[in-house]
Amino acid sequence: MAEVNWIAALIGGMLIGMSATILLAFDGRIAGISGMVNGAIKFKSEENWRWLFIAGMLGGGLIYEYIFASEPTPVSDFAPVAMIVGGFLVGVGTWIGNGCTSGHGVCGLGRLSFRSLVAVITFMMTAIITVFVTHHVF
């Protein structure tokens, strides 16, 4: 198991919280990634800020990986088909849950939303069950 750089994780968490707070405070919008991507791909002129937010997230990850990371991120050995199916299932879950983990977990819980609390508990229980089944049953 890889050692966790807790300082980088702490700084990253603070940056996520600050970006979500700034977006909500100054624009009244929730920083949920699924909604942001959904709005961005509709290509409406008033939605250009979404592309900038997404570019900032991707750019931040690349800057960390290639400039600040002490060692490269390990490459996944999952089969591409499994990752595509998993991505599809995450998309379906996002649609059913009316939001993703970032929207419910970071923004919804921060606003004390009961619906987001139920969603986050559901996400976590599903993740725990999935890890148990994939690591201890199969």
Q: For 68-121, how does the pLDDT look when each residue is reduced to its tens digit (9 = 90+)?
A: 887 888 888 888 898 899 888 888 888 887 878 778 888 888 888 899 899 889
- How far is residue 91's CA from residue 83's CA, in Å, rounded to a whole number? 12
Q: Is the separation of the CB atoms in 31 and 21 below 8 Å?
A: no
Domain limit, last residue, from 49, 75, 101: 75
Q: What is the mean pLDDT of residues 9-35?
A: 85
- How far is residue 138's CA from residue 120's CA, in Å, rounded to a whole number? 26
Residues 16 and 62 in one domain: yes
Residues 54 and 86 in one domain: no
pTM of the model: 0.67
- How far is residue 62's CA from residue 130's CA, in Å, rounded to a whole number? 29
Helix, strand, coil % over all residues of the chain, rounded to 5: 75, 0, 25
Tell me which residue range forms the domain holding 132: 77-138
Residues 68 and 96 in one domain: no
Residues 94 and 69 in one domain: no
So what's the pLDDT on residue 2? Answer: 58
